[in-house]
Structure 1
């Protein structure tokens, strides 16, 4: 898209370019690859939300939304209840992000889907948007959010950049005028959760305690939607925010939508931080290839990029969120109980004596070579020590990127939801997704509004 040409507009060229992109693309069919990727992202996120609804964070949010955002008919997924647009989007985002099973993008270094997809569904419920309009809005939201996240000059947790994607998604479905979109993006960017503690550079002393706040994704939904409403009411924001070279550096040849970012989405085979996935894959392969008995392991050495050392990595987690950000504990858990122990992660995983003992034998170190290629490549090397034998992996990448096959997503869904849904309910949800793929959203709308899980 061309940048604005008048002198004032040149001072906020990037928000203008983004607003142009939203205005130009909304209401138009997405390309076949982007459409299929969006449908996959919906499927994957609904599985994450289904297994996350019982978590303490989503439960607390559902308890307070009637007082904070009122009642309404907008579905709070898998509860049989409703709320206002913001209340429903907030609650559904919280459920989707709770167990770190939601999708992500490595260049933005975070998770777009848990913010964008709940917003698309909540706004569509209010506007009566068609399925194709919803898909296009999701594609737009991923494109904008990831572009901004990737342009940040320093690391910021997902909630620091997902409000841009939230504004883009909602504005696409609401038909918000271009000039208003500019201010909404600016308000959202300046009002986004700072996540200053979670986003601080390493070494972080102390490392953040695991909590339901996590990466601020649900609150970014509230921020982004509120920013759009404020802009539509005449509120203004600093539209030159994305021109700040201190905070953002966009490529000189930035073209939104040329190769849709949504097509590079990754999906997670484990309910934990993406930085843990490469070590887990390497570990599983070593265990299988060499018939290693976990009880005989004397040590596990992990070489990884610096971002993998940013997470808390507590060998003795105090809560489930701590587990999601602990390479030592996740490796020990999977060594002893298999990958299904992280699909999903449950309270039973916490405080196991055998896991704690093995986690204490895990050492982490920075690999300059692996750090040099991050985030273009996300790699880890693992060595398992058994007596005087050392079994080492080469540089290993995580699974699930880009995307997964539909069959793999279905297997993931079945495994992840086995504790919260009966086989018949799982099949009902899968049937609704199959109908969605064929263009019929009605069965999924029914599932999200009326099916109770947990």
Structure 2
């Protein structure tokens, strides 16, 4: 069998058994975390501007969090964009990939259309995470040199989630993945230069994945060897031949996602965590004479901005996020408001910050995202902290309580406390929810 046929066969075979408790709980956590990302993301200009530009037509799906009814593809596109816009969505660490934003957006859109139950929705999320993450692992870091994996591989995750909800048989499921492959997109230059287009990668992936699944349901077919073929996805985007997918469900990738603890690029996280630990140990920002950051190469390439002037640039700046951590004590939404971006104390620390690649830490990536922060105070006394992983990674996860605290910090400010509480309660109870449409969006 080709790779897409193996993936489809795996997905369809899973329907014979209930989700394991840990897998189900992992999927619930992923959806709760996605809600924490999409609600503030929907308020960004990227998401609002897209929704206004499209003037969504009525339909069976909903925009989140407004609850506005629209068609399935538009819901996937706008919600997928919003879920990535505030840089709060989850990560599959080993593959430089944000699985949740496109996958769950696609699943919600199709679940609304079908009036699916919570358990079926969670199974679709699980399958979408699994297939997307395994393909991302297969093409590896080589793919991430030029391509934004969330925009490319996210299309497969979205297609798989939609195909699972549509209960496509193995042949049509493989067709959905094959069609998804030829609609993938997302270039890294979009976020290496000044731009507000990065969230659109996730939205396009969600929409394209839904389109592929709906088309396959109606009998459209794709090239079954589109992943490993001589002119296929692997060769074209990563120079990877003989692309293989192994260890499906061992463990399920939805149980191993990184929850973002900061509202910015994940490549800055280890350095932020180190800075916050130094702050907690008594280092005061006003006493800092110099900051040295040592980390892995991709972090310096993607988050190497030294003089950011807007929230998008600041989220991709090691210098800014570490300085904000030391001054503010947190790098969530407040850190990217105008007041913080212009804060003289943060600006002064940025000017005293340098970042470089540490060859030993670079060898650990992508399986470990490490950073060392050295601070020298005005008396010449050095302080140092090494983080070999990030808070929120699978080996240092946020607890359920911490995940709920993230939701409670981010969501009520946009939709009100009582509505946020009702949504949180429903999301944590998804396995027993008879209809996903009961969620009180809007």
Q: Indicate whether the TM-score tops 0.5.
A: yes
Counterpart in the other structure of 1:407:
401
Match among 100, 108, 111 for residue 113 of structure 1: 100
Match among 57, 65, 78 for residue 65 of structure 2: 78
Counterpart in the other structure of 1:183:
175
Displacement, 1:256?
Answer: 1.4
Distance change >3 Å, CA 27–CA 131, structure 1 → 2? farther
Distance change >3 Å, CA 177–CA 368, structure 1 → 2? same
* Alignment pair present for 1:269 and 2:261: yes
Counterpart in the other structure of 1:7:
none
Match among 20, 23, 43 for residue 32 of structure 2: 43
Counterpart in the other structure of 1:238:
223
Structure with the bigger percentage of helix: 2
104-113 vs 23-32, which moves further: 23-32
* Alignment pair present for 1:18 and 2:3: no
Paired residues of 1:300 and 1:362 also in contact (CA < 8 A): yes
1:58-137 aligned within 5 A: 58-66=47-55, 70-137=57-124
Name the CA distance, whole Å, in 2 between partners of 1:345 and 1:32. 38
Name the CA distance, whole Å, in 1 between partners of 2:53 and 2:245. 45
Displacement, 1:298?
Answer: 1.3
Displacement, 1:440?
Answer: 2.8
Counterpart in the other structure of 2:302:
311
Distance change >3 Å, CA 366–CA 115, structure 1 → 2? same
Structural RMSD (CA): 2.3
426-435 vs 134-143, which moves further: 426-435
335-344 vs 397-406, which moves further: 335-344
> Secondary structure in 2 aligned to 1:275?
helix
Displacement, 1:379?
Answer: 0.8
Paired residues of 1:141 and 1:169 also in contact (CA < 8 A): yes
> Secondary structure in 1 aligned to 2:227?
helix
1:141-290 aligned within 5 A: 141-153=128-140, 154=142, 155=144, 156-157=147-148, 158-195=150-187, 197-198=189-190, 207-214=192-199, 216-244=201-229, 246=235, 247=238, 248=240, 254-289=246-281
Distance change >3 Å, CA 430–CA 177, structure 1 → 2? closer
Displacement, 1:235?
Answer: 3.6
Name the CA distance, whole Å, in 2 between partners of 1:448 and 1:297. 47
Name the CA distance, whole Å, in 2 between partners of 1:253 and 1:170. 20
Unaligned runs of 5+ in 1: 5-12, 200-206
Distance change >3 Å, CA 422–CA 252, structure 1 → 2? closer
The count of corresponding residues between Structure 1 and Structure 2 is: 427
164-173 vs 213-222, which moves further: 213-222
Name the CA distance, whole Å, in 2 between partners of 1:274 and 1:345. 15
Paired residues of 1:56 and 1:212 also in contact (CA < 8 A): no
> Secondary structure in 2 aligned to 1:86?
helix
Match among 415, 419, 428 for residue 422 of structure 2: 428
- Give the TM-score normalised by the residue count of structure 2: 0.90
Distance change >3 Å, CA 187–CA 196, structure 1 → 2? farther
Unaligned runs of 5+ in 2: none
Displacement, 1:178?
Answer: 2.1
Name the CA distance, whole Å, in 1 between partners of 2:245 and 2:176. 24
Counterpart in the other structure of 1:374:
365
Paired residues of 2:269 and 2:390 also in contact (CA < 8 A): yes
Paired residues of 2:151 and 2:204 also in contact (CA < 8 A): yes
228-237 vs 25-34, which moves further: 228-237
